Amino acid sequence: GEDVEQSLFLSVREGDSSVINCTYTDSSSTYLYWYKQEPGAGLQLLTYIFSNMDMKQDQRLTVLLNKKDKHLSLRIADTQTGDSAIYFCAESKEGGSEKLVFGKGMKLTVNP
Amino acid sequence: DSGVTQTPKHLITATGQRVTLRCSPRSGDLSVYWYQQSLDQGLQFLIQYYNGEERAKGNILERFSAQQFPDLHSELNLSSLELGDSALYFCASSAGPQRTNEKLFFGSGTQLSVL
């Protein structure tokens, strides 16, 4: 079945790197996504990775995918207080958004 | 600002009542999605419409229904409300169905409290 698991909380100091982890169960997932939710706002797509890739870098964000272990991570370099938010991992099978299955989200707190 | 507008932002009602949540997608987007976010269930996909037609259905209760109008705005109707329906309801939009790297743009949600 489809299931996406995430840790619930992470606290880091400003300037440190943050690593947010996610595991998924559906080996047929084709796209894996990271979304960010700030307080009082909707979800914002941060980045995504196609399942045939191992890594994707986008400015301060690095996504690593271990398809064998069904493990996805998001590394945020030089974490800023503005990065404080809830981060959701999501998967889809067909590259289509209607099949997105989300994790429950991980709250990142960045302390000055 | 994602360009997706949801109204109202907050809604407080009583059990047994019926409410309607409204969503206006980004200009030019034809697909509208509804999601329910609660503490215990996380973010659950409810239903998707594309250009007025239902396209995909998720964990939507029979007491809930949705539609997309010719001007592409969508409404989610929740009836016979129960305490457990209290949640944050998100609308999202995208350009079209199941294209590669289809990106969803989310509204800021309607917080529903059933008392």
Give the residue carrying structure tokens 């269930």.
Answer: B41
Share of chain A above pLDDT 70, in %: 92
Written as six digits, the tokens of B42 are 């996380």
Using the 8-state DSSP alphabet, how is residue A78 labeled? Answer: S
Residues of A in contact with B88 (CB under 8 A): none
**B72-114, pLDDT tens digit by residue?**
999 999 999 999 999 999 999 988 765 555 678 899 999 999 9
Residue type, A53: M
**Collapsed DSSP state (helix, strand, coil) of residue B85:** helix
Mutate to test the interface with A, among B1, B29, B37 (most CBs of A within 10 A): B37
Q: How confident is the model at residue A86 (pLDDT cuts 50, 70, 90)?
A: very high
Q: Chains A and B: how many Cβ contacts under 8 Å?
A: 65
Query: Is residue A8 predicted with pLDDT exceeding 90?
Result: no
CA B73/CA B75 separation, integer angstroms: 7
When scoring B43, B88, B101, B103 by the number of chain A Cβ atoms within 10 A, the one with the most, hence best to mutate, is B43
